[in-house]
A and B are shown apart, each in its own frame.
Chain A
Amino acid sequence: MGDRRRVVVTGVGAVTPLGIGADVLVDGWTQGRSGISDGLGRCLDFDPLDFLSRKETRHYDRFTQFALVAAREATAMAGWGPPIPMAPERVASVVGSSVGGIGTALEALRLSAAHGGQSVPALAIPGMMVNAPAGVLALRLGIRGPSLGIASACASGGDALSVALRLIRSGEVDAAITGGAEAPICPLMLDAFAVMQALSPTGQSRPFDARRDGFVLGEGAGMMCLEALEVALDRGASILGEVLGHGCSNDAFHPVAPQPEGAGAALAMRNALTDARVQPEAVEYISAHGTGTRLNDVAETLAVKTVFGERATQVPMSSLKSAIGHLIGAAGAVEAVATVLALRRRVLPPTLNLEVADADLNLDYLPMRARAMAERDGGHSPRVALSNSFGFGGHNNVLVIGA
Chain B
Amino acid sequence: MDGTAPLTREQVEQFTAGVLVDDFSIDRAMILPGASMTSLGLDSLDLVEIAQIVQDKCRVRLEVGDVSLESSLGEVVDLIVRKSAERGPDAIQTSTRR
Contact A55 B52 (CB under 8 A): no
A-B residue pair count with CB separations less than 8 angstroms: 31
A48-60 interface code vs B (CB 8 A; 1 in, 0 out): 0000011100100
Q: Which residues of B contact A (CB under 8 A)?
A: 22-25, 45-46, 48-49, 52, 55, 94, 96-97
Contact A111 B49 (CB under 8 A): no
A121 within 8 A of B: yes
New contact pairs (19) apart from A54-B22, A54-B25, A115-B94, CB-CB < 8 Å: A53-B25, A54-B23, A54-B24, A55-B23, A55-B25, A58-B23, A111-B96, A111-B97, A114-B96, A118-B55, A118-B96, A119-B52, A119-B96, A121-B52, A122-B45, A122-B46, A122-B52, A123-B45, A123-B49
CA distance A53 to B25 in the complex (A): 7
Contact B49 A122 (CB under 8 A): yes
Q: For B97, what are the chain A residues with a Cβ–Cβ distance below 8 Å?
A: 111, 115, 119
Smallest beta-carbon distance A356→chain B, Å: 48
Smallest beta-carbon distance B7→chain A, Å: 21
Q: For B48, what are the chain A residues with a Cβ–Cβ distance below 8 Å?
A: 122
Q: For A116, what are the chain B residues with a Cβ–Cβ distance below 8 Å?
A: 96
A residues contacting the other copy or chain, number (CB 8 A): 13
Q: For B24, what are the chain A residues with a Cβ–Cβ distance below 8 Å?
A: 54-55
Smallest beta-carbon distance B74→chain A, Å: 23
Q: For chain A, residues 360 to 401, give those with C-beta under 8 angstroms from any C-beta of chain B.
A: none
A113-129 interface code vs B (CB 8 A; 1 in, 0 out): 01110110111000000
CA distance A114 to B94 in the complex (A): 10
> Please, could you name 15 A-B residue pairs with CB atoms under 8 Å apart, sorted by A?
A54-B22, A54-B23, A55-B24, A55-B25, A58-B23, A111-B97, A115-B96, A115-B97, A118-B55, A118-B96, A119-B96, A122-B48, A122-B52, A123-B45, A123-B49
Smallest beta-carbon distance A345→chain B, Å: 40
Q: For chain A, residues 215 to 273, give those with C-beta under 8 angstroms from any C-beta of chain B.
A: none
Q: For chain A, residues 53 to 87, give those with C-beta under 8 angstroms from any C-beta of chain B.
A: 53-55, 58
Q: For A118, what are the chain B residues with a Cβ–Cβ distance below 8 Å?
A: 52, 55, 96
Smallest beta-carbon distance B52→chain A, Å: 7
Q: For B45, what are the chain A residues with a Cβ–Cβ distance below 8 Å?
A: 122-123
CA distance A118 to B97 in the complex (A): 11
CA distance A119 to B51 in the complex (A): 10
Q: For B49, what are the chain A residues with a Cβ–Cβ distance below 8 Å?
A: 121-123
Q: For A115, what are the chain B residues with a Cβ–Cβ distance below 8 Å?
A: 94, 96-97
Q: For B52, what are the chain A residues with a Cβ–Cβ distance below 8 Å?
A: 118-119, 121-122
Q: For A53, what are the chain B residues with a Cβ–Cβ distance below 8 Å?
A: 25
Nearest to A122 among chain B residues (CB) is B48
Q: For B22, what are the chain A residues with a Cβ–Cβ distance below 8 Å?
A: 54
CA distance A116 to B61 in the complex (A): 14
CA distance A224 to B52 in the complex (A): 38
Q: For B23, what are the chain A residues with a Cβ–Cβ distance below 8 Å?
A: 54-55, 58
Smallest beta-carbon distance B44→chain A, Å: 9
CA distance A115 to B55 in the complex (A): 12
Q: For A114, what are the chain B residues with a Cβ–Cβ distance below 8 Å?
A: 96
CA distance A54 to B18 in the complex (A): 13
Smallest beta-carbon distance B6→chain A, Å: 23
Smallest beta-carbon distance B18→chain A, Å: 12
Smallest beta-carbon distance B94→chain A, Å: 8
Q: For A111, what are the chain B residues with a Cβ–Cβ distance below 8 Å?
A: 96-97
CA distance A384 to B85 in the complex (A): 72
Smallest beta-carbon distance B92→chain A, Å: 14
Smallest beta-carbon distance B51→chain A, Å: 9
**6 interchain residue pairs of minimum CB distance:** A122-B48, A115-B96, A119-B96, A53-B25, A122-B49, A122-B45
CA distance A122 to B22 in the complex (A): 18
Nearest to B61 among chain A residues (CB) is A118
Q: For chain A, residues 112 to 159, give those with C-beta under 8 angstroms from any C-beta of chain B.
A: 114-116, 118-119, 121-123
Smallest beta-carbon distance B66→chain A, Å: 14
Smallest beta-carbon distance A259→chain B, Å: 46
Smallest beta-carbon distance A369→chain B, Å: 47
CA distance A121 to B97 in the complex (A): 9
Smallest beta-carbon distance B33→chain A, Å: 22
Smallest beta-carbon distance A14→chain B, Å: 27
Q: For A58, what are the chain B residues with a Cβ–Cβ distance below 8 Å?
A: 23
Nearest to A56 among chain B residues (CB) is B25
CA distance A123 to B44 in the complex (A): 11
Output the residue of A53, A58, A118 with the most chain B CB within 10 A. A118
Q: For B96, what are the chain A residues with a Cβ–Cβ distance below 8 Å?
A: 111, 114-116, 118-119
